[in-house]
Structure 1
Amino acid sequence: MRNHLKSSRSNKHIFCAHCGTQNPANDYACSRCGERLAKSKTDSSSNIEYVSCHQCQDTNDARSQYCWTCGCEMSESIPVASTSNIQATATSNNQAGDSASTSPNNLTHPPSNQVDSQQSLNAGTQKQAPHTTEEIPLQNTSGKSNGEIPHGVKRWNWAAFLMPAVWGLFSGVPFTGLLFAAAFLPSNAQLLIMIAASLFLGYKGNELAWRGKKWRSVEHFNSFQQQWTSWSIRLSAVIGVILVIFIFSQTGG
């Protein structure tokens, strides 16, 4: 392949882009190879790609093998973007940016970097936030006349039902001692008073005992009442057996 020296830029000569032969500027075709002679200029309405000559920096068709201005071989040409390509690229980028910003997915789903930042912020806030879901221990309201009755205390009391007078003296319900005075009343009155007192104290005994005496805790209160229930059942069973024996002995006599 022939090497061509750089010539001065003038309108008198033009080099063939196909074979590099110098021809008069007014010729239509190359005198050596017969290819059409044409000057390469960037055209905004054309889709042809252009390159820049590394010697004279003039613009040539990317398909040219030789520069039309200086005749230098285009082996080290530099790509040149045409005006139409630049405008098309800019328009495409703008449309892509607009579609991305107005996409429904982008409106409902923020960018991943924003999501990561928000998640990190939320994680830090959760670590710094104090724990508010811990159970607060119940206040001991025993021994107060208007103290709140815990849920574990509201139940039937068998000790107060079976032995109301004695149970009340040890459980903080001292007025039950008045039941001993019923012994001086007629038998019918004694029976009615004892039945009414037993039913009332069996139902309300725990509440009266909780407010009438200071207890260490609900567990302590329930343990005390269970112990008295055990004693009252045993004592009632013994008294019942004695009464049955007494009745049979009187009937047999």
Structure 2
Amino acid sequence: MDQNDARVINNGSVPTEVKKWNWGAFQFNIAWGLGNKTYLPLLCLIPIFNIVWIFVCGAKGNEWAWKKGNYQDVQTFKAVQATWNRAGLIMFLITVVLVVLYIAFIGAIIAALVNSVN
């Protein structure tokens, strides 16, 4: 694909293959937004609202990045976002494991306290 075709692709319309979930935008929303020159993820700084907005970032992040970026083609875009996606997914999995361990730890402490009272 030559540069003329690339300019036609990134003319504001978003290709179908770009419209996918972005783990990087979901997990690293603010840093991801700054790195991709899209500033809607900064709304994650608003308490309570951010609980919903992180999911919007994950769902719409690729579209925002495509519109703001100066990508030569879809493959280049996917290569850049693949790093963010991989890091975001790994961080998400680590977070889930830590939350499960935390809940188990708190449960063990409560069980020990209840048993010591009896």
Same fold (TM over 0.5): yes
**Are the aligned partners of 1:171 and 1:209 in contact in 2 as well (CA < 8 Å)?**
yes
Aligned to 2:5: 138
Q: Which residue of 1 aligns with 2:70?
A: 214
What are the superposed Cα offsets for residues 187-246 of structure 1, whole Å, 9 maximum, x if unpaired?
xxx2xx334213322332211111122223321111111111110111111122222222
| Alignment pair present for 1:198 and 2:54 | yes
SS of corresponding position for 2:18: coil
Alignment of 1:1-253 (within 5 A): 138-140=5-7, 142=10, 147-182=12-47, 190=48, 193-253=49-109
Q: 1:248 to 1:163 in 2, by over 3 A?
A: same
CA distance in 1, matches of 2:46, 2:14: 30
TM-superposed deviation, 1:252: 1.5
Q: Give the aligned residue type for 1:178.
A: L
Structure whose residues are more often strand by fraction = 1
The Cα of 1:160 is off from its aligned counterpart by 2.3
C-alpha distance after superposition, 1:78-135 (max 9, x if no partner): xxxxxxxxxxxxxxxxxxxxxxxxxxxxxxxxxxxxxxxxxxxxxxxxxxxxxxxxxx
Distance in 2 between the 1:180 and 1:232 partners?
Answer: 18
Sort the Cα spacing of 1:201 and 1:252 in 2 relative to 1 into closer, same or farther, 3 A.
same
Q: Indicate the residue corresponding to 2:115 in structure 1.
A: none
What's the CA shift string for 1:35-83, capped at 9, x where partnerless? xxxxxxxxxxxxxxxxxxxxxxxxxxxxxxxxxxxxxxxxxxxxxxxxx
Q: Secondary structure at the match of 1:214?
A: coil
Q: Output the amino acid matched with 1:167.
A: W
C-alpha distance 138-155 of structure 1, shift in aligned 2 (>3 A): farther
**What is the CA distance between 1:251 and its match in structure 2?**
1.8
> Could you tell me the TM-score, scaled by structure 1's length?
0.37
Matched-pair contact (CA < 8 Å) for 1:164–1:197: no
Instruction: For CA contacts below 8 A with separation 6 or more, give which structure has more relative contact order.
Output: 2
Q: Tell me, which stretches of 5 or more residues in structure 2 are unaligned?
A: 110-118
- Give distance in 1, aligned partners of 2:21 and 2:96: 22
Which residue in the other structure is 1:119 paired with? Answer: none
Contact conserved, 2:44 with 2:54, CA < 8 A, in 1?
no
TM-score (norm 2): 0.70
Cα deviation, 1:129-181, whole Å, max 9, x if unaligned, reads xxxxxxxx623254xxx722234323332332343333222222223123134
Query: Which portions of structure 1, spanning 4 or more consecutive aligned residues, are displaced by more than 6 angstroms?
Result: none
Mark the structure with the bigger radius of gyration.
1
Q: Which has the higher helix share?
A: 2
